[in-house]
Structure 1
Amino acid sequence: MQAFQVKAPHDYDVSEQPVPSPGVGEVLIDVAFAGICGSDMHIIHGDNAFVRFPRITGHEFAGVISAVGDGVDPARIGERVCIDPVVNCGECYPCRIGRPNVCTAMQVIGVHRHGGFAEQVNVPAANAYRLPDTLDLDAAALVEPYSIAANVLSRMNPYPGDRLLIIGAGVIGLTILQMAHAMGIEDVIISDILDTRLETARAMGASHAINGSEQDLEQAVHELTSGEGIPLIADAACVPAMLPAMLRMACPAGRIGLLGFNPTPSDLSQLEVIKKELTLVGSRLNNRKFPEVIAHIEAGRLDPKALISHRVALGDMPEAIHMLDTTPEKARKVLVDIAS
């Protein structure tokens, strides 16, 4: 079978790999579509401390079950599915309290084990979510990024009428924007430094789109909220230096959701946090959000295809990676058509 394999940082190709056989409790997926994510780029650049090379990457994908291992109902063969990449142990403290996405022994498909940039891949049967007949496989491949958005918003515990500020209008920022609307958060402000991204955010229903390179974001938020500040802030830019500004822009009792893995320390004013009684939450991957996302897509509250800017064949992935490295502003979601 053909697969995109990262052999070492900056060393990758599409090559012939052995066809896997499903083990106990596993299913074999004939992959149809897979999305290229920023974290895939981090693996390619050697910026992911968890990955072990060589690795077939890809954690956003959908396809069809073509075989099952022992312990799996053979009736599942032929199911159209999308894959939750979070594989947890079920025994550690986070798992025992219902937080498997921070399992102490967690594995991520496409990081710790082979992923979806391949014609076929094994996954645990429990991680393969059956799709409604009305949901196309290309849209289903993007359930995973929406699950990231659903997770961070749930971690911030929105109240009716809350306003949301999203910092960063890349793919994750746009999924948060769409998911916020699906969850009933109507007033969403989004910021970025690229007008093309902000135009897309406006088209997707952002109430206000602010170019931070042309306008003072803090001043704009101050004016838009009559000085009260923002209840919800989602950091989809993942720039540690932005944290002090987020603390200042948050209103009393506000909640800030952090998504980045950047190890650079952030300045944090304890006074600002305490006087406003702010809540800062981390959000990693997703905590069983796939059914929620699938339901929103099926109901038409989310539009995954609006995120797709490029479609490429598996064999053209090296060129797509080069494009994302050199001109990332030209792309939103690059979708790989594995079966083409």
Structure 2
Amino acid sequence: MATMKSVQTGAVDKIDVVDVERPMPGPKDALMKIRACGICGTDTFFLHIGGGPFGAGGTMVPVPLGHEPAGEIVEVGSEVEGLKTGDRVVVNPQGSPSGIIGCGGKHGAMSDYLLLEDCEVGKSVTVFPDTVPFDVAALNEPMAVARHAVNRSEAKPGDKVVIFGAGPIGLGAAIWLKLRGVEHVVVADVIASRLETALAVGADAVINSAEEDVTSRLTELHGQAANALGQPRPGTDIYIDAAGVAAVVNTTVDSAKWGAKLVMVAVQKKGADIDLGGMLRSELTLIASQGYPTEIFEVTQEIVEHHERFAKLISHRVPFGEVEHAFELALTPGAAEKIVVTFDE
């Protein structure tokens, strides 16, 4: 029996690197050799709880990790069309019939190989050219999340936007907004190095919200408007929450002009008491953004075209042989921006 290395949840805040059987593709499947795989906040969520409550009676069981892979096809089933050995591909983690890859499904992509079940080009997998490094291609999934948030915002070129949170999703949203031609994009965070990255990828301005008054700074940058009662407010049109903390919601409600929008893409770490009266006074629209209903492969060609810009989002490239260290970094607040684990070619 051929085996491979695969990462799964272990004890709380620990991973286990285990030997598992190497998948054998059937006629409708393909086998992908993983060359790079990003680490996401969802991975660390499963680590914090020590697995997933998917066993009998809701008991915790190990979860195979990894849902941001890029790699190459090494075997193709006889019924798979449009794919050949050697193709460089990214995948749709939600396109697997046995469950979401790396998020409670049967398979995880933080492994030597990944089985692509019922493989269909354009639905479960798409091909990218060799001009793009595997580590940058592995950003495809989180950049689809960021793109959906921007799509949900319906931002127009003349809009003024602020993004709270300069992690990969927030920075990805900044890139998509600027590529869309949005006039002015501000990124707010509390970590100086992340704000430097925001400027490097094209943000027009940044705010260190630990040191600056956000509302006053936004008024300087976006001009002064008013809420429905005529009270002065910044001229910001769209607020994007890519941080997931109550302070973002509260700041937005306090700052929003009449008709502003708040797009929530981050998972809220704790529930926030929302000032509904404040929302009423600005007619603030709250828009939730979840996943990537259509965007998973819509983003691929633009990542190819602008791959050098997207590469700036990666702060750490860690070899698979040091994957324990990669997850230690991911579990340490502020230690890394975006970690991509690389595999031998």
TM-score normalised over the length of structure 1:
0.86
Q: 1:323 to 1:270 in 2, by over 3 A?
A: closer
Cα RMSD after superposing both structures: 2.4
Cα separation, 1, equivalents of 2:315 and 2:170:
15
2:275: which partner in 1? 269
Letter in 2 for 1:108: I
The 10-residue stretch of structure 1 (243-252 or 138-147) with the greater mean CA deviation from structure 2: 243-252
2:340: which partner in 1? 335
Cα separation, 2, equivalents of 1:88 and 1:165:
35
State which of 255, 263, 288 in structure 1 corresponds to 2:294: 288
Structure 2's unaligned 5+ residue stretches are 55-59, 226-234
Deviations 1:283-306 (A, max 9, x none): 112122133311212222772211
Deviations 1:214-249 (A, max 9, x none): 111122113322222311111111103421211232
Q: 1:42 to 1:273 in 2, by over 3 A?
A: same
State which of 209, 219, 222 in structure 1 corresponds to 2:219: 222
**SS in structure 2 opposite 1:161?**
coil
Does structure 1 conserve the Cα–Cα contact (< 8 Å) formed by 2:52 and 2:104?
no
Deviations 1:28-78 (A, max 9, x none): 211111111122111111188677632221111111122234642385333
Alignment of 1:118-133 (within 5 A): 118-124=111-117, 125=119, 126-133=123-130
2:62: which partner in 1? 54
Alignment of 1:106-145 (within 5 A): 107-113=99-105, 114-124=107-117, 125=119, 126-145=123-142
State which of 160, 168, 172 in structure 1 corresponds to 2:169: 172
Deviations 1:147-170 (A, max 9, x none): 111000101111221111010112
Cα separation, 2, equivalents of 1:3 and 1:25:
23
Does structure 2 conserve the Cα–Cα contact (< 8 Å) formed by 1:256 and 1:279?
yes
**SS in structure 2 opposite 1:33?**
strand
Letter in 2 for 1:172: I
Does structure 1 conserve the Cα–Cα contact (< 8 Å) formed by 2:13 and 2:44?
no
Cα separation, 1, equivalents of 2:183 and 2:140:
21
State which of 13, 18, 21 in structure 1 corresponds to 2:16: 13
1:100: which partner in 2? none
State which of 237, 242, 245 in structure 1 corresponds to 2:248: 242
Q: 1:31 to 1:255 in 2, by over 3 A?
A: same
Superposition misfits of 4+ residues, deviation over 4 angstroms: 47-52
Cα separation, 2, equivalents of 1:170 and 1:178:
12
Cα separation, 2, equivalents of 1:4 and 1:306:
26
Structure 1's unaligned 5+ residue stretches are 90-105
State which of 27, 34, 37 in structure 2 corresponds to 1:34: 37
Letter in 1 for 2:64: I
TM-score normalised over the length of structure 2:
0.85
Q: 1:260 to 1:74 in 2, by over 3 A?
A: closer
Larger radius of gyration: 2
Higher relative contact order (CA 8 A, sep 6+): 1
Q: CA deviation at 1:274?
A: 3.2
Does structure 2 conserve the Cα–Cα contact (< 8 Å) formed by 1:34 and 1:117?
yes
Number of residue pairs aligned between Structure 1 and Structure 2: 323
Deviations 1:246-265 (A, max 9, x none): 12323322221112333632
